[in-house]
Structure 1
Amino acid sequence: MDEKVLSPITDAEAAPARAPMAARIAARLTQARRAPMTIGLSALIAAALAWAAYHAIAPTEPQAPRSTHKKGSPAAPQPVAVATIARRDIKIVRHGLLGTVTPIANVSVKSQISGYLMEVGYKEGQFVQKGDFLAQVDPRPYEAQKAQLEGQMMRDQGSLEQARDDMRRYQSLKKLDSISRQQADNQTWVVKQYEGAVKADQAQIDNQNLNLAYARIVAPVAGRVGLRKVDAGNYVTTADVIALVTQIDPITVIFGVPEDYIPDIMRAQKKSGGLEVAAFDRSDTKQIATGRLLTLDNSIDSTTGMVSGRAEFENKEETLYPNQFVNVHLLVDVREKTIAAPKAAIRTGASGPFVYKVTDDSRVVMQSVAPAEGEHFDDFAGFNDGMIEIASGLAEGDRVVVDGADRLRDGASVRLAASDGRASAAPPSETPRKDPSQEPPQERRRRRQTTPQ
């Protein structure tokens, strides 16, 4: 068998075969190098498209105005209104006491006899005095009964006089032993019987006189008459209400007092007598009337822990109305010449109440304060013209911020507001800064060129 000899392949012969393979390898290497660039470019394009879409659908917000101060320059002083701490009298008032206006007298006038109502002598809402005419019930049936009883009394009186004459004769005959002792004594008892009959007749006549007085209905107290309950011509009985008379002036308020307040109130009553009481409307913002505390009840309600109190008010202007709901403020003490601060100056922080105190160099510092015992930070602002007593933290003559403290911080620079509410002029040491947006274009271009970068 012939052996086939394989001759080696020369470089010239192998070059054409290697050329296509090298080209393919180079293309693959180029494609591999371009893949990260393609991915990065795709991610960048996607992010740009997402940013554009977000700003297209998101609501626009107004941009904050750019600061006109140079870099590193201090902020402009904040205009504020201040008050000077001084001494004054402070009233300690117990408030939040709920009460109801209660008339001293609220009388339902009823007829005390039965009969036809002949006349109504009042108008609805009329003010009447005690004894004024209100209504008239038909008196004629009672006049007739009175006349009948008077006739019966005259008959009994005649019988009584006859019995007395017989008794005198029997006593004379008894002395002469002309009649028996028993007969004379019996005549004495007959006289007693007729005397009793006459007295009974007189009582019945007096009863009819009373009925005739009841037929004319008058006001039992002074006050205001309500709406009409019955008209003339109706038959009334003792159960029917003819009128409702309510005493308006003076008038009282019954209110509840927590048992914790009782010692202070009793101590103040012993010291100064009747305590001042102010009645405010339902919203506890408008004062209606001023009166005096009459008394507290003699026991505490065990279910509520409250004791009822009654205060009396003059009510000539009818500012208080029966059954009206009111808020009661009870003055229990007056602290004289004490350090007082405006309630508007006191703010609440994490460490408690504080104020912004103005220093001599027109800066503010946070100063902790403590209201006096018995004072509450949420006290009604109408008391003491909006002032409250300060136990510690402030001294007479200190200045505190009462308006414009919302954007302040400890150590901030401030300028005081003028008396008319406008901010005072800036201190001479400060140069007013111009707003760059108001400069001419040429000036802004020149300033940018001269400003070092």
Structure 2
Amino acid sequence: MPRRSGAIVSILLLAACAKSPPPSAPAAAPVSVAAASRKAMPDLLNAVGTVEAINSVAVKSLVDGQLLESHVKDGDEVKAGQLLFKIDPRPAQAALAQANAALAKDIAARELAKAQVDRYAPVAKKGFISADQMQQYLTTYEAAAAAVKVDQANVAAAQLTLGYTDIHAPFAGRAGRILVQPGNLVKANDTNALLTINQVAPIFVNFAVPGAYVERVRTAQAKGALGVQARGDGMKAPQDGELAFVDNAIDTSTNTVKLRARFANGDESLWPGQFVSITLTLGTDANAIAVPDAAVKAGPNGYYVFVVKPDKHAEQRAVTVTRSVAGESVIAKGVEASETVVVDGQSRLTDGTLVQIAETKAENAAGATAGDAAK
């Protein structure tokens, strides 16, 4: 029995001393990749803007009277000079007639005084009447002539007042709701307007950008007009406009600067008070290095990407991202053109991980299309 136990122990010792097999190599991590490319990338600023009418007027009466007629309906499109309202003109017509009568009376008095001056001037030269008497004739004529000028001014004022009984649109635009209906009495320059007209074509969009971008905006604006694009809910297509105004001071409460863009708005897709997304184009970088946004990740020390080396190992690199445009990030530092970056599967990677490049969705779609064509 002891001999048998010793044999078993010897066998176990020989097994323990036998060389262990080498560990198997780690499996490659499957990833999807894309190539960094050098291309022209626009320099864009994004913001939220508010649409504002270029011109907006609260239409009010300039005379007191009864509103007789309304020639516009709620929400109508109006033209410049179009008749909107008519106020009872009879009081103004009576005042004009009275002013014309006074003018005619004073013209007659002036003509009489002029005739007396013409009659007695030769007599006064011969000394048949005194100089004081002649001066009275001259003074009477000058006073009559002055009275005629006053009457002419009164007639012009009465005509102006009569013209105010017809209220016309000051510019083309879109009418709001009619606030005073025919039959009501209106007062000159009353607190309540008859209606409001907004000019919607062209139109403004107000927006703000961080104050740190002021120099970039002003430098780009000095080179030429800057394009602005507006997009909003319900709009069939984005609207293209032009930067029209940069405020002369930064708002200290928000650290932003106010800007304004002008849009033709021929289809009236932009409406006063509407919120829209604004994209301001400051220029174009002709040789920018771009990678898909999915390749860029944020870490505790900033942005980074995984670059696939020629030996199929991943290298983690810190990158400097200047901006993102249409799903692509512009890289200022960290990646060179034509290098391969990982766009999917970064969670499986660490610096130096062996990778296996998986077939991309684009390749799958191309293969399926080719297969269908072969069939």
Aligned position for 1:241: 193
2:217 to 235, 250, 265: 265
- 2:343 aligned with 1:402, yes or no? yes
Give the aligned partner of residue 413 of structure 1.
Answer: 356
- C-alpha change, 1:255 and 1:371, in structure 2 (3 Å) is same
- What CA distance in whole angstroms lies between the structure 1 residues aligned with 2:310 and 2:210? 46
TM-score (norm 2): 0.82
State the partner residue of 1:86: 37
Return the letter of the residue paired with 2:178.
R
Aligned with 2:283: secondary structure? strand
1:255 matches 2:196: no
2:333 to 373, 392, 395: 392
Distance, in Å, in 1 between the alignment partners of 2:41 and 2:262 is 24
Other-structure match for 1:370: 319
State the shift of 1:330 in Å. 2.4
Say which SS state the counterpart of residue 117 (structure 2) adopts.
helix
**CA shift for structure 1 position 395:** 2.4
- CA distance in structure 2 between the aligned counterparts of 1:153 and 1:424, rounded to whole angstroms: 97
Deviations 1:325-377 (A, max 9, x none): 3443322232112211111111233443232334456x3513314235xx15x
In 1, the alpha carbon distance for the partners of 2:228 and 2:206 equals 12
List 4+ stretches of structure 1 deviating above 6 A: 422-425
- Alpha-carbon distance in 2 for matches of 1:200, 1:163: 17
Distance change in 2, residues 1:200/1:414 (3 Å)? same
- Is the contact made by 2:308 and 2:315 (CA closer than 8 Å) also made in structure 1? no
Aligned to 1:43: none
Inter-partner Cα distance in structure 2 for 1:342 and 1:169: 103
Q: Alpha-carbon deviation of 1:270?
A: 1.2
SS in 1 for 2:291: strand
Question: Whose Rg is larger?
Answer: 1
CA contact under 8 A between 2:174 and 2:200: conserved in structure 1? yes
- Distance in 1, matches of 2:84 and 2:122, equals 60
Note if contact 1:279-1:287 (Cα within 8 Å) is conserved in structure 2.
Answer: no
Q: Would you say the 8 A contact 2:41–2:286 is kept in 1?
A: yes
RCO (CA 8 Å, sep 6+): is it higher in 1 or 2? 2
CA gap of 1:189–1:423, structure 2 versus 1, over 3 A, is: closer
SS at match of 2:219: helix
> For each residue in 1:295-335, what CA deviation from the matched residue of structure 2 results, as whole angstroms up to 9, or x when unmatched?
21223334443332221112122232212234433222321
Residue 402 of structure 1, CA deviation: 2.4
What is the percent sequence identity of the aligned residues?
35
Q: Distance in 2 between matches of 1:162 and 1:146?
A: 25
Counterpart of 1:140 in structure 2 is 90
1:187-213 CA deviation, whole Å, 9 max, x = no partner? 111111111111111111111211221
Q: What residue is the counterpart of 1:323 in the other structure?
A: 273
| Structure 2 CA distance for aligned equivalents of residues 263 and 231 of structure 1 | 52
Superposed, which structure 2 residues align to 1:53-202 within 5 Å? 72=24, 75=27, 78=30, 80-95=31-46, 97-202=47-152
d(CA) in 2 for partners of 1:420 and 1:413? Answer: 15
State whether residues 29 and 349 of structure 2, in contact with CA within 8 Å, keep that contact through their aligned partners in structure 1: no
Which residue pairs with 1:278 in the alignment? 229
- TM-score, normalised to structure 1, is 0.69
Map 1:330-349 onto structure 2 (within 5 A).
Answer: 330-349=280-299
Bigger strand fraction = 2
Letter in 2 for 1:414: I
Change (3 A) 1:397 1:222: same
Matched residue, 2:15: none
SS at match of 2:287: strand
Report the alpha carbon displacement of residue 100 of structure 1 after superposing the two structures with TM.
2.4
Q: CA deviation at 1:254?
A: 2.2
| Paired residues of 2:319 and 2:335 also in contact (CA < 8 A) | no
In the TM superposition, what is the alpha-carbon distance from 1:76 to its structure 2 partner?
A: 7.2
Larger deviation: 345-354 or 195-204? 345-354
Equivalent-residue separation in structure 2 for 1:104 and 1:289 (angstroms)? 16
Question: Which amino acid in the other structure matches residue 362 of structure 2?
Answer: S
Q: Within 1, Cα distance between the matches of 2:250 and 2:293?
A: 34
CA contact (8 A) 1:115 1:138 kept: yes
Larger CA deviation: 386-395 vs 181-190: 386-395
Q: Displacement of 1:77 after TM fit? A: 6.0
Residue identity opposite 2:199 in structure 1:
Q
Change (3 A) 1:297 1:391: closer
Question: Match for residue 214 of structure 1?
Answer: 164
Q: Which amino acid aligns with 1:248?
A: V
Supply the distance in 2 between the matched residues of 1:209 and 1:83 (Cα, whole angstroms). Answer: 78
Q: Which amino acid aligns with 1:184?
A: M
User: Counterpart in 2 of 1:27?
Assistant: none
Deviation per CA, 1:233-287, whole angstroms, max 9, x where unpaired?
A: 111112141221001011112223333211111111112x2222233448xxx98
Query: Is the alpha carbon distance of 1:171 and 1:86 closer, same or farther for their aligned partners in structure 2, counting shifts above 3 Å?
Result: same
Structure 2 unaligned blocks of 5 or more: 1-22, 369-375
Does the CA-based 8 Å contact 2:75-2:177 persist in structure 1?
yes
Give the equivalent residue in structure 1 for 2:262.
312
Q: CA RMSD in A?
A: 2.7
2-structure distance, mates of 1:345, 1:92: 20
